[in-house]
Amino acid sequence: MKDGFNAFEMAQAQFDRVADLLSLESGMRELLRWPMREFHFTIPVRMDDGSVRVFRGFRIQHNDLRGPAKGGIRFHPQETADTVRALATWMTWKCSLVDIPLGGGKGGIICDPRRMSPREQEQLCRGWVRQIFKNVGPVSDVPAPDVMTNAQHMLWMLDEYEILAGGHYPGFITGKPIGMGGSLGRTEATGYGVMFCVREAMRRLGREVRGMTAAFQGFGNVAQYALRWFTAAGGRAVSVSCWDAHDNIAYTYRRGDGVDPDFLVSITDSYGAIDRQKAVAAGYEVLPGEEWIKQPVEILVPCALENQINADTVRQIAPSVVLLAEGANGPTTPDADPVLKQRGIYVLPDFLCNAGGVTCSYFEQVQAAMNFYWDKEEVLKRLDSIMTRAFHAMADLADARGVFMRDAAYMIAVERVAHAARLRGRA
């Protein structure tokens, strides 16, 4: 929680609104608005200097009525249980909306991997698995990478799980390296999924991506591949913002004739921080981090953390903006939605817009179960098909019922989980 913001309260408020729209019975509401299970634990790690440091870890399983819980593991110094609860909840709705047979879960460790050696990070990963081993697995709960975790972290976790389980279980975790059970296309999946939704929204609005302008917040994996797709499709991104760990502040990098994604990636570290001096030398204007939302563009693409577009910042959005594509989880708070509605900004809600990652994680599980792996073209074709179908189901319902896009997405997702609960006799 920061500045009074609580992500889980936001997730519950969003659910309560849609529960009213769906006229859900009281027992169903209570079942779906709370996590089914929570695990909180400590992870002792012997650091390189010989001292022992104890980290706090979480795994929260919101719902598994439609399939094994699914969700990433975050490493972040400001992680909280309520943030993990919110993310697990959103994962339930995300998997339901794109109609893949998975539920929602999320994990986290309060730590800063940027200030830990590779050996210390490995011990942290293995310690997390040891603490939760009995409650996760290919048929119960499948983790994945998230903020400040990567394929190497996933492989360390898989190795520890297989040591404890006494066998090979590549479907235990997704986001693994290629050649070690990972799926081609997984790196691009979330960012490309964002842009598949943008493409379909533009078509719905009678426009094309070519010639459109955009501002991106964040420059991790999601933003990098979304930006590359957008640029290749003829769009022009005028700015990118990212967090600078050295200065402990965010900066916005602006270039009016369009940023060069390949150049920016070449001067970016593994945590998405751009080298400021090299950017300036290449002609980029460096602005305060919050300036990304004020850019006079047509598309805003937040790909950082939650609570970025709220009652205060939403009023800073330029009049030129016609589309908001939520590449991050929970970037827009409920008190900002009325302003977006009033201005007629077309919103692509987070749990559809960034669902490309979990969809490709599902593909990775399927391939692991078959022990047969698809080529990248096959993966991305299947991803495009699922994202496009889910977008039009949401947009069609929004048009038919005259509701906000976020409400339409929630109505589809929540009703599917509620239906599973009724069929199972849980509510």
Catalytic residue among 70, 94, 106, 176: 106
Residue with tokens 């599902």: 362
Global pTM reads 0.93
Q: Check for a shared fold between 32-170 and 187-344.
A: yes
Residue ranges per structural domain of the chain: 32-170, 187-344
**106 an active-site residue?**
yes
pLDDT tens, N- to C-terminus, the chain (427 residues): 446 789 999 999 999 999 999 999 999 999 999 999 999 999 999 999 999 999 999 999 999 999 999 999 999 999 999 999 999 999 999 999 999 999 999 999 999 999 999 999 999 999 999 999 999 999 999 999 998 999 999 999 999 999 999 999 999 999 999 999 999 999 999 999 999 999 999 999 999 999 999 999 999 889 999 999 999 999 999 999 998 877 889 999 999 999 999 999 999 987 778 999 999 999 999 999 999 999 999 999 999 988 999 999 999 999 999 999 999 989 999 999 999 999 999 999 999 999 999 999 999 999 999 999 999 999 999 999 999 999 999 999 999 999 999 999 999 999 999 999 999 999 8
Q: What per-residue confidence (pLDDT) applies to 62?
A: 98
Cβ contact 272:295 at 8 Å: no
Superfamily of domain 32-170: Leucine Dehydrogenase, chain A, domain 1 (3.40.50.10860)
Chain-centroid distance, C-alpha 411: 20
Q: What per-residue confidence (pLDDT) applies to 248?
A: 83
Q: What per-residue confidence (pLDDT) applies to 3?
A: 61
What SS3 string covers the chain? CECCECHHHHHHHHHHHHHHHHCCCHHHHHHHCCCCEEEEEEEEEECCCCCEEEEEEEEEEEECCCCCEEEEEEEECCCCHHHHHHHHHHHHHHHHHCCCCCEEEEEEEECCHHHCCHHHHHHHHHHHHHHHHHHCECCCEEEEECCCCCHHHHHHHHHHHHHHHCCCCHHHCCCCCCCCCCCCCHHHHHHHHHHHHHHHHHHHCCCCCCCCEEEEECCCHHHHHHHHHHHHCCCEEEEEEEEECCCCEEEEEECCCCCCHHHHHHCECCCCCECHHHHHHCCCEEEEHHHHHHCCCCEEEECCCCCCECCCHHHHCCCCCCEEECCCCCCECCCCHHHHHHHCCEEECHHHHCCHHHHHHHHHHHHHHHCCCCCHHHHHHHHHHHHHHHHHHHHHHHHHHCCCHHHHHHHHHHHHHHHHHHHHCCC
Q: What per-residue confidence (pLDDT) applies to 410?
A: 96
Q: What is the Cα–Cα distance from 82 to 252, expressed in whole angstroms?
A: 29
What is the torsional sign of CA 69, 138, 79, 313?
negative
Cβ contact 164:157 at 8 Å: no
CATH architecture assignment, domain 187-344: 3-Layer(aba) Sandwich (3.40)
